[in-house]
Amino acid sequence: MRKEDCIFCKIANGEIPSKSLYEDEKFRVILDLGPAAKGHSLILPKDHAANLYELPEKLAGDAMILAKKMASLLTEKLNCDGINLVQNNGEAAGQTVEHFHIHLIPRYKGDGQNINWVPGKPSQEELEAVRKQILE
Ligand code: AMP
Ligand code: ZN
């Protein structure tokens, strides 16, 4: 189901042109307009889901299988040295377009990009408290 005024619904379904790399009945893969690196691509489901929480399980599985195929294609064709999969959910996590998407970001040695985080230094007790909070 598409959502009115959702730009990724329109792109995924071909109503707005894009630099399309792949299409099937469920997904379109496009080049990101603001790439972190050469070949930065986005996997877009054709049906609207705002984020991972809303994405039907079957589509989530299909999206990961497609990500694997696209990762191999990008690596073979662009000769990149690695690839990051990034998938943001919610504003706090950096999501700017509220239509589920997976970023495929080819990485090149010395490309200077930084898709990392500052590691914390929790104690064993703090880790255990989080573990309990999640599991209780
Ligand atoms: P996120 O921050 O995870 O929501 O990522 C949104 C991504 O969509 C960003 O990397 C943008 O550069 C990209 N983007 C936004 N609008 C378009 C568009 N019309 N075509 C291609 N990529 C887009
Ligand atoms: Zn949408």
89 lines ligand 1 (CB under 6 A): no
For the whole model, what pTM was predicted? 0.96
Grouping H, G, I as helix, E, B as strand and the rest as coil, residue 81 is coil
pLDDT averaged over 10-residue windows placed end to end, the chain, 136 residues: 94 97 98 97 98 98 98 98 98 97 97 91 98 97
SS3 120: coil
Q: Is the CB of 94 under 6 A from ligand 1?
A: yes
Could you give the maximum distance between any two Cα atoms of the chain, in Å?
53
Contacts (Cβ under 8 Å, ≥6 apart) of 7:
16, 97, 99
Q: Which candidate in 48, 99, 101, 103 is catalytic?
A: 101
